[in-house]
């Protein structure tokens, strides 16, 4: 009887150990499969692909908010994927195409910025930089294969040619929190494990960069940077960890590159199209029966005017809803 009792006790301990080991492995796998940054839900490689595929900045904004394989952000955790608006801050031969989310009716949070610099002789350099609050410090993606330092010339990309067309009026998205275009349909975010599995190998090859190549555009952008105090308050550790999304590098060089542009990796020219906004419709992200979104007003209590493709102000971008600015 004593031997049988010992044998039974041994079997119970063995099964308990196996179950504990299985549970630990499952928890470890789950931990690895969780995002470390909000930016893990916006793949910048995919953003760059959508930018290359578009003919205008407005079309690019539309694609950002319809392609379910790219945008899965829900910064304010209201249960819906955030609408990403695009604001082009331009000066001279540089463009800082800012991807921004209206965090609330009164605050905005920059997500990433596409930096463009025209270097003359039909040569244009592009980088996309993730916002530090979402991706960690110095998270840079650019066209080009890993291990190849040749700088890709994007002069003939459709949208690039569009923004450098004479007479181009800088695109300033007219949409606000709770106010979206007629075609837009809010959707719920998917689990990160599913989103991550959907990340595709895009035709445009992207690589991590250790060099800030667009110094002028970068400095110009930082003068217009918008961030949300509420987002920072709800995510106190935001920006402290490196994102798991594709791309990014820590401690990049701050010197512009002197490498020759690769003129063999280009898109095809396009004819610029109109950038007139679509018809507006008011949409609520709240539950049915909730109050309608507040009317957007300026500091004097007057209703804000919808931008008409004019250059954004250096003090407050149109549609910022009070997004806070901080310098670089």
Confidence of residue 37 (pLDDT cuts 50, 70, 90): confident
Question: With bands split at pLDDT 50, 70 and 90, how would you rate the model's confidence at 324?
Answer: very low
Query: Is residue 57 scored above 90 in pLDDT?
Result: yes
Query: What is the chain's Cα-based Rg?
Result: 23
Which residues 6+ apart lie within 8 Å of 3 measured at CB?
A: none
Closest CA to 267 of 126, 91, 78, 61: 126
Is the separation of the CB atoms in 220 and 92 below 8 Å?
Answer: no
The band of 55, judged by pLDDT with boundaries at 50, 70 and 90, is very high
- CA dist list (Å): 176 to 88, 104, 188, 238, 297: 16, 9, 19, 24, 11
144: left (phi over 0), alpha (psi -120 to 50) or beta: left
pLDDT at position 20: 55
What is the distance in angstroms between the CA of the first residue and the CA of the last residue of the chain? 78
Output the six-digit token pair for 304. Answer: 């804000």
Contact criterion met (CB below 8 Å) for 211 and 255: yes
Count CA atoms closer than 13 A to 44's CA, side-chain side.
32
Cα–Cα dist 212/210, whole Å: 7
* Residue position matching structure tokens 């701050």: 254
Predicted local distance difference test score (pLDDT) of residue 149: 73
Count other Cβ atoms within 10 Å, centred on residue 324: 15
pTM across the whole model? 0.63
Helix (H) or strand (E) holding 198: helix 192-198
Distances (CA, A) of 278 to 175, 226, 310: 10, 25, 16
- pLDDT for 73-128, tens place per residue? 999 889 999 999 999 998 888 899 999 999 888 888 899 999 998 988 899 999 89
Query: Two tokens at 99?
Result: 């991807």
Which of 72-81, 158-167, 315-324 has the lowest average pLDDT?
315-324
Calculate the CA 221 to chain-centre distance: 15
Query: Which pLDDT score is estimated for 304?
Result: 43
Q: What is the mean pLDDT of residues 41-62?
A: 94
d(CA 299, CA 81): 29
Q: Please tell me the distance from the alpha carbon of residue 167 to that of residue 159, in angstroms, as a whole number.
A: 15
């Amino acid at each position: 009887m004593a031997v049988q009792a010992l044998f039974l006790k041994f079997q119970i301990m063995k099964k308990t150990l196996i179950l504990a080991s299985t549970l630990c492995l499952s928890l470890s796998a789950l931990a690895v499969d969780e995002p470390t940054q909000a930016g893990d839900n916006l793949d910048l490689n995919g953003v760059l692909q959508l930018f290359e595929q578009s003919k205008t900045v407005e079309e690019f904004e539309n694609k950002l908010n319809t392609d379910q394989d790219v945008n899965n952000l829900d910064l304010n955790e209201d249960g819906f994927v955030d609408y990403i608006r695009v604001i082009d801050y331009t000066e001279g031969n540089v463009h800082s195409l800012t991807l921004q989310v209206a965090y609330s009716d009164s605050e905005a949070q920059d997500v990433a910025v596409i930096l463009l610099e025209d270097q003359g002789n039909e040569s244009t350099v592009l980088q996309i930089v993730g916002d530090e609050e979402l991706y960690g410090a110095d998270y840079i993606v650019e066209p080009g294969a890993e291990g190849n330092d040749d700088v890709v010339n994007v002069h003939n990309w459709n949208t690039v040619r569009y923004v450098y067309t004479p007479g181009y009026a800088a695109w300033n998205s007219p949409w606000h929190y709770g106010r979206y275009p007629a075609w837009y349909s809010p959707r719920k975010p998917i689990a990160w494990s599913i989103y991550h599995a959907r990340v595709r190998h895009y035709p445009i090859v992207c690589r991590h960069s250790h060099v800030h190549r667009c110094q002028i555009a970068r400095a110009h952008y930082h003068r217009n940077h918008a961030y949300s105090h509420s987002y920072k308050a709800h995510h106190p550790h935001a920006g402290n960890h490196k994102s798991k999304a594709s791309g990014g590098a820590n401690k990049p060089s701050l010197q512009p590159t002197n490498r020759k542009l690769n003129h063999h990796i280009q898109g095809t020219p396009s004819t610029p199209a109109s950038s007139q906004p679509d018809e507006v419709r008011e949409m609520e992200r709240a539950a049915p029966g909730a109050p309608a979104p507040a009317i957007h007003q300026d500091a004097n209590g007057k209703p804000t005017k919808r931008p008409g493709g004019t250059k954004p102000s250096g003090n407050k971008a149109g549609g910022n809803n009070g997004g806070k600015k901080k310098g670089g």
